[in-house]
Structure 1
Amino acid sequence: MKIKKSKGKSPIAGKGLIHVELRINKKILQGNFLAFKLEIERCNMEKLLEGKRIFRQDGEADRYLLLSEDFIQKYYYFYEVIAIKKGELLYPHKWLKYSCSVLFPLDSFNLTDYEYIFSTDKWLANDIKTALEPFLEIQIDNQLNALLELTEIPRGSELGIRESLEKEAYKEKDLSIIEAFSCPNQDNRFIILDSEFSDDDITYERTKDFADKVILDSYQRRLGNYTEYLYKLAPSKNSDSYYLSEISWYYRGIDELGNFDFLKLIYDIEDMLPFTSFFKL
């Protein structure tokens, strides 16, 4: 028996083709939507980080500081030093004493503007006392406090004092260069961003690690003049960072004086969200 070939398409076969085509198109649409969604999330993270750098703060705070690049600058770093400007060596009351860390902006500080910048110790104090003894009887403590009260010292002691200070004075090769954040709402308050010199428990910069993440969910609530946020973050598909490589929740707040925002890792928040005043964006 011969089977006749149909000149037209089988209705059943036609439907099958339509179903296959629809399934393929659906997968393509889903894939495009997912890629589009991830791109939006990536852009949201870029917006969060725009103009900012993130630094890890350990210790009691245990958070990530979002610091504006506009207030981050390079400085020369000194700790507990005395600075003598040109022409003021014989006038100790004009010497500048810094009892803690001091930062000089890299772009405006010139070491040649100073005769000497040095740190004090008992050996230097003893050398200066020896240089002054033929001309002036004075008791000098290790911090040179009594010397700094003098309006003027004898010119004959200048050579001996110079020889003493030359041995201790900073040379350009000795200077430490650091980055620091100048707090916009506090005069002369700096957060040093180099862990070796930091008094604020700053450890590492984590800007790139957060840039490699996407925002899966965002929530917010208004508290007075400030808006708080919750972010659900995940590693991006192309992330090569092993740091913070799991899906995590972060609270975004602001420090008490409004100098900067911060992110803080939080746990067990997702099930509690319906019982809070946060709403989904």
Structure 2
Amino acid sequence: MMISKIAAGKSIVKQETDRDYRYLILDSTKIKKCIHFDYVILIKHGDLPYPKRWIRYVNFKPVKGQVVPVEDYNREDYEYIFMPEPGLSDELKSGLELIGQPIDDSNKFGEFLSQLDIIPDQLLPVVKEEINFCLKSGVEPRAIDAYEYEEQGEKVYVILDLEDNPHYIEKEVTEEFQAMQTVEAYELPTKDMHLYKVNDPSSSYSPERWFIYSYADENFPYFEEIYEIENLLPYTAFKELQVK
């Protein structure tokens, strides 16, 4: 199969890796519009006095629940959604000290209350004031594009938006791969990896390029460019295929 046929109907994104780059070949039907709770605290109606019920998403790489399809998100479920300030106000520090809650300079808003089952009534106005200050930033969860797949029965999401991308995705390159012309093709006996020599009309350096095509992981097949492979081919297990 030619490399352009593999790319047909797919969305291919360039992802930085520890070694270099790889090009994820994503099923376009699994790319969904989602809501990303990006470094926010969410408080449902009636949960303000009970900090252990607060929902905290302060992770760079998304954890379970931090990305949800837009149809599963209802803004009206939450009384407060805000990005927490990194520190505590002097008034809140004083209030915490009065109730015997230990604090230090490393405390962050939202985390310091997680040890309390309930916020004392005298502290609630101060906490509300702190939240209202945070709300002035106007931060709300962002709508983003994400690739949805299943892992051990759970839905997992890879964020595709390029802004502050936690998965090191740099850009979409679908059209580049769809325009490549396959010159030679090879396959491993295990049939889970191909090797392609292509002519790339978009390359300003050299139109002749080599790519590994790996599809051992059905959720994340990928292309990876390799170099100086031509002289080594006779010493590998790759067998040449007819280019169709």
* TM-score, length of structure 2 as denominator length: 0.77
How is 1:269-280 mapped onto 2 (pairs within 5 angstroms)?
269-280=229-240
1:230 paired with 2:195, answer yes
- For the residue of structure 1 that corresponds to 2:164, the secondary structure is coil
SS at match of 1:90: coil
Quote the offset at 1:254 in angstroms. Answer: 3.9
Work out the CA distance in 2 between the residues paired with 1:122 and 1:151.
Answer: 22
Aligned residue number for residue 7 of structure 2: 49
Residues 161/112 of structure 1: CA separation in 2 closer, same or farther (3 Å cut) = same
* Corresponding residue of 1:268: 228
Question: In structure 2, which of residues 81, 85, 101 is the aligned counterpart of residue 138 of structure 1?
Answer: 101
Distance 1:121 1:46 in 2: 49
Native 8 Å contact 2:4 2:177 kept in 1: no
**Shift in Å at residue 168 of structure 1?**
0.9
Q: Give RMSD over aligned pairs.
A: 3.2
- Which residue of 205, 209, 228 maps to 2:176? 209
Unpaired runs of 5+ in structure 1?
1-40
Structure 2 residue matching 1:208: 3-state secondary structure: helix
Higher relative contact order (CA 8 A, sep 6+): 2
Distance 1:266-1:127 versus aligned 2 partners, 3 A rule: same
Q: 2:185 aligns with which of 213, 218, 221?
A: 218
Q: 2:219 aligns with which of 245, 255, 259?
A: 259
Q: Does 1:66 align with 2:25?
A: yes
* Count of residues in correspondence between the two structures: 231
Q: Are 1:151 and 2:117 an aligned pair? A: yes
- Please say if residues 127 and 164 of structure 1, whose CA atoms lie closer than 8 Å, have aligned partners that are also in contact: no
Choose between structure 1 and 2: higher helix proportion.
Answer: 1
CA distance in structure 2 between the partners assigned to 1:198 and 1:243 by the alignment:
27
Separation in 1, partners of 2:4, 2:84? 48
Other-structure match for 2:63: none
Q: Quick one: structure 1 residues 234 and 73, their matched pair in 2 at CA, closer, same or farther if it must change by over 3 Å? A: same
Partners of 2:83 and 2:139 within 8 A in 1: no
2:181 alignment partner, SS class? strand
Instruction: Encode CA deviations 1:12-31: one digit per residue, 9 max, x unaligned.
Output: xxxxxxxxxxxxxxxxxxxx
Whole-Å separation in 1 of the counterparts to 2:23 and 2:8: 15
Q: TM (normalized to structure 1)? A: 0.68
